[in-house]
Amino acid sequence: MLRQYELVEKVRAYDPDADEDLLNRAYVFSLQAHGSQKRASGDPYFSHPIEVAGILTDLKLDDETIATAILHDTVEDTVATPEKIRDLFGENVARLVDGVTKLSKIEAQTDSERAAENLRKFLIAMSGDIRVLLVKLADRLHNMRTLHHIKNPEKRKRIARETMDIYAPLAERIGMYQFMDEMKEIAFRELEPEAFQSITQRLGDLRAKGGGEVDKIAEDIRTTLGSHGVDAEVAGREKRPFSIYKKMQERHIAFEQLSDVIAFRALVDRPDDCYRALGILHQKWAAMPARFKDFISTPKRNGYRSLHTTVLYEGRLRVEVQIRTHSMHEEAEHGLAAHWAYKDRGDDGRAGREEYPWITDLLEILDHAATPEEVLEQTRLAMYQHTVFCFTPKGELIQLPRGATPVDFAFAVHTDVGKTTVGAKVNGRPVPLRTELKNGDQVEILRSEFQEPDPAWENFVATAKARAAIRRHRRMLGRAESIRLGHQIYEEAAARLNVEVSQKAFDEALKRLGVDSEETLFEQLGEHEISADRLIDALAPGLFAMRRRSKAKRGNRGKISIKGLTPGVSVHLSSCCHPIPGERIVGLRRKVGGIDVHTLDCGELASETDRDWLDLSWGEETDRGIATLAMVLENSSGALATVTAILARSDANIINMRVRDRDSSFGTFVVDVEVDDLQHLTHIIAALRTSDAVTSVEREKR
C-alpha cells in the first residue's frame, strides 16, 4: 500500500502544480473514516481506496480525481456524509464522490432491478463528468484483483459476471484496453475455470516448444523496416486466454487450429510512418486477404487508432501485426485517460455527452426501457460493438455493429429518421431493410411522414438504439389499444349505474382505485388490471354489497332481533335517535314494562339517570332501520330527481321527505329512508356526496 508521502510524490512527479494539501487531507480523512474496517483478505479496508488512487496515478490523472479515489467509499461505508465531503474538499470532489459511490442501499424487488437502477444512476453521473467512470473502473479493477479473497463462490461469480457484462465493455468503449483485458481475464478465470486452465496450459506448452521464434520474428520485422528507413520498436506478445477462448467459440475451432495466438506490434514515430511500414511489410510478405483494417483513417468510436494486418511469414506462418505511433499506443492502452487534460476542460473538469455520444445513446435506452431486464439487455447490446463503417450520401461516417441493417443506420442518423423509414438504397441500389451492411457501404434512407416503426423490424435490427425505439413504439400501440378498450368498458359500466356520472364522482373513484389519471384508468381497464365490478364499486361504493344484503333481508320484514334481552320483552326503537342495525345501542327499562333502545351517542341519555341501563347488541335477523338525512341541494332543474335516483339505486326506500328551507340558490331537504344497517347508510351518504347536485349531506338526530 502506498504511504501518504509516496502517493503525493507520485502525483507531483507528473503534475508539479497539484494541490498537495488536498491529497494529504483526503488521505488522513479516509484513514480515520475507515478506521478498523477490514477487507475479505484481512487487510485494512483503507488499503483499497489507496490502491485505487495508485492505479489512477499510473494514468497521470489530476489531483481532484486522485482525491476522489481516496474518498470514494467513505460515504457508503463510513459515517461520512456528502455534506461533510463538500465542506472539506469542495464541490467538484463531492460531486465526483457522489457519482462513484456504489449504490448498494437502493432497495429493489429483484437483483435485475437493483443492477438496472445502479447502472442508470451511474451512467447519468458519468455523463456529467467522465472522471466518474475512470475512478469507477479503477475501483472495479482492484476489486477484481482481490476477488480470490471472497470465500462465497456464488458472490465471486456474480461479481465476475457483472464485470464481464458491464465494466469491461465500458472500459472498451473509452479505449482503456489494458483495464478491459485484465478485468476480462480475471472474470474468465472465475466463470470458466476449466477453460482458463486448459488454454493457459496450452499457451505454456506453445511457449516452451517455440523457443526463441517469437523474438526471431520480431527482430526480422524490425530489421526489415529499418532497412527501408523506418525506425520501429517491435515486440511480440501472446493473446490473452479470454481472447483466445472467444475466437475458438466464434470460429468453432480447436486451440491447435488458431494461427494468430501471437501478435506483433510495431511502434513508429509519425502517422505517415505507419503507412510506410505497412507497405514495406506487404512487399516482403504476402498479405492475407480480408485481414487488413485501417483504424487510423477511420478510428473506432472510442478513439482507438492503429493499422492491423496479417501476413504469411516465410510462406508458412500467419503473423498478425499492429502498426501505430507511440502516442496511438498510449491511447490504445489507456484510452481516454491517456489524453485527459483536466485544465483544458474548464474549471469543473466536466466532459460528457457532446464528446461521448454513445453515453447519450445509453441514457436514451435507460429512459425508455420498460423493465429492468430490458435495461440490462439493451445496455449490454449497446456496449458490445464489433464495428462496420458506412457512409451517408453526403459522406458522413456512421459506425454500426456487425450485422447492422439499413434500419439500424437510419436510427443511428436520428431517431426521427428511423421512425419514418420506408426503404433504403445501398450503393445506389434498392435493398430489403433486413440487408446486412458491409464496410464502406453508402446508405440512403427513403422516408415517408406517414410511416411508423414496424414491430417486425425488431427481428433483424442489431443496435440497441433501434431495438429500444421499436419496442417503445410497439408498447405505445398496445397502450393506445388498451385505452380504447378500457374506455368502452367504462361506458358499459357507467350504463349499468343508470345515471350520468359526475366529474366529482369520477375523481373520487380515481382516488379509491389508486390511479392518477383518466388515461391510466382506461389503460388498466383495457389490460384487465381493474375489473368492471371494481370500477362500479368505486363510482358507487357498496352498491353490490347493498343489493345482496337487501335481497337477504326481504324475508325479515317487521322482525327485531336484539341480544341481551329477556325473551318476550317488548322493544321500542327510540324516535329521538332512530337506532339502526350496526350501531352501538343501549336499553333503558320503562317503568310500565318494556325497553326503549337508544344509540350510545343519543343526546337524550344524559337526562336518563334514574332508569336502569341494559347493554344490548343487534341480532342477525333484524328488519331494516330508519335514518334521517339532511341534504343541501342546488336549486336547479333535476337536482331532486338525481337524488331520488341515487337513493333508488342504493336500495334505500324513501319513507318521508320534507323541505326545511329554500332560497334562490339552495334548498335543504330532510328525508327519512329505510336502510339495512349502518354500513348501508354510510354507502348511501357516500353515493350522494359524489353527485354534483348535492352540496352536503349529513345524518340527522334530535
> CB-based contacts of 621: which residues, under 8 Å, 6+ apart?
556, 559, 561
Residues 380, 169: contact at Cβ < 8 Å?
A: yes
Q: Is the dihedral of CA 82, 88, 91, 93 positive or negative?
A: negative
Give me the amino acid identity at 589.
Answer: R
User: What are residue 587's DSSP bridge partners?
Assistant: 597, 614
Q: How many CA atoms lie within 13 A of 537 on its CB side?
A: 12
Q: How far is CA 586 from CA 200, 570, 576, 578, 620, in A?
A: 90, 15, 13, 12, 17
Cell of 406: 439499413
Q: How far is CA 124 from CA 98, 360, 473, in A?
A: 12, 9, 24
Residue in the block written with cell 318476550? 568
**Residues that are catalytic:** 76-77
Q: d(Cα 383, Cα 164) in Å, to the nearest integer?
A: 11
> CB-based contacts of 226: which residues, under 8 Å, 6+ apart?
232
Q: How far is CA 229 from CA 268, 273, 294, 317, 499, in A?
A: 11, 9, 22, 26, 96
Give me the amino acid identity at 641.
Answer: A
Q: d(Cα 298, Cα 391) in Å, to the nearest integer?
A: 11
Q: Among residues 51, 75, 69, 66, which one has the least CA distance to residue 20?
A: 66
